[in-house]
């Protein structure tokens, strides 16, 4: 659900789909900015949506807003995250992607996705210190 400031996960995917609408859907591969720099149209657009959705989560939580990820969306995004695993694993040591976190018993679909992407699903933004009065 969106509060108007941070797009919902589904909105992010819709925007990615719109951007990819011009790609030849019958092509075996299309160029992508993500290694291996070519993917099927579905994989390329889904990887774009994955990137946008996880950063929407980052921004939402960092600004005290609710997660834009739903269980249904997380299941869809986990599919592409697992598909591109081979291409991102060599980039992790160079800092392009953080290491995946181990799944925990009882993880929700959203938590499984976030841990796969190296994020702690229980993370909350620290509170900024209050300014001192009278300084």
User: pLDDT tens digits for 19-55?
Assistant: 778 888 889 998 887 777 888 888 888 888 888 888 8
What is the model's pTM?
0.76
The CA distances from residue 83 to 14, 56, 69, in Å, are: 20, 21, 19
Rounded to an integer, what distance in angstroms lies between the CA atom of residue 7 and that of residue 52? 10
Supply φ then ψ for residue 129, to 5 degrees. Answer: -65, 145
What are residue 31's phi and psi, to 5 degrees?
A: -70, 145
Residue-wise pLDDT tens digits, 47-79: 888 888 888 899 899 888 889 999 999 999 999
Q: How far apart are CA 70 and CA 47, in angstroms?
A: 17
User: Do 48 and 77 meet the contact criterion of CB atoms below 8 Å apart?
Assistant: no
């Amino acid at each position: 659900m969106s509060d108007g400031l941070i797009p919902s996960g589904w909105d992010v995917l819709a925007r990615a789909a719109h951007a990819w609408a011009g790609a030849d859907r019958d092509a075996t591969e299309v160029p992508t900015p993500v290694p291996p720099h070519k993917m099927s149209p579905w994989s390329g657009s889904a990887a774009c949506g994955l990137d946008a959705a996880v950063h929407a989560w980052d921004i939402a939580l960092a600004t005290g807003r609710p997660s834009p990820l739903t269980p249904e969306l997380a299941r869809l995004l986990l599919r592409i995250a697992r598909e591109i695993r081979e291409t991102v694993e060599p980039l992790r040591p160079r800092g392009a992607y953080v290491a995946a976190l181990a799944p925990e018993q009882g993880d929700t679909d959203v938590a499984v996705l976030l841990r796969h992407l190296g994020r702690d699903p229980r993370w909350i933004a620290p509170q900024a210190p209050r300014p001192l009065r009278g300084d």
